[in-house]
Amino acid sequence: MDKKSILKMINQKIQEISEEFDIDIKKNSDEIYVYSEKGAFDSMMLVVLIAEIEEELMNNFDIEVSLTSDKAMAKDTPYESNLKILNLIEELS
């Protein structure tokens, strides 16, 4: 798994969705906060993000994961940031 390419794709999807919904995203160096106290995504935006990431993983990286599986949901704040989403993908694939 090419973590650098996957992280780039996650960051790109976060950027696209934030522009589509016209919100500012908060960054802390390389970490982009998504769905947390620091993040700006609401639940609808998160659903769109998860669906797009799963589709992109399958189409471009041949990785099939469910980011909403029971195992994923058992994690503490799995969608807090881009880096947490990357870690989740790594654990599930």
pLDDT one-digit tens code per residue, 50-90: 999 999 999 999 999 999 999 988 888 899 999 999 999 99
Radius of gyration of the chain measured on its C-alpha atoms: 12
Highest mean pLDDT among 31-35, 38-42, 54-58: 54-58
- Number of structural domains in the chain: 1
> What is residue 66's DSSP assignment?
-
Alpha helices in the chain (DSSP H): 3-20, 43-61, 70-73, 82-92
Q: Determine phi and psi for 67, rounding to 5 degrees.
A: -75, 0
Q: Is the pLDDT of residue 48 over 80?
A: yes
- Name beta bridge partners: 28: 31
- Name beta bridge partners: 81: 33
Range of the domain at 10: 3-92
Q: Is the pLDDT of residue 1 over 80?
A: no
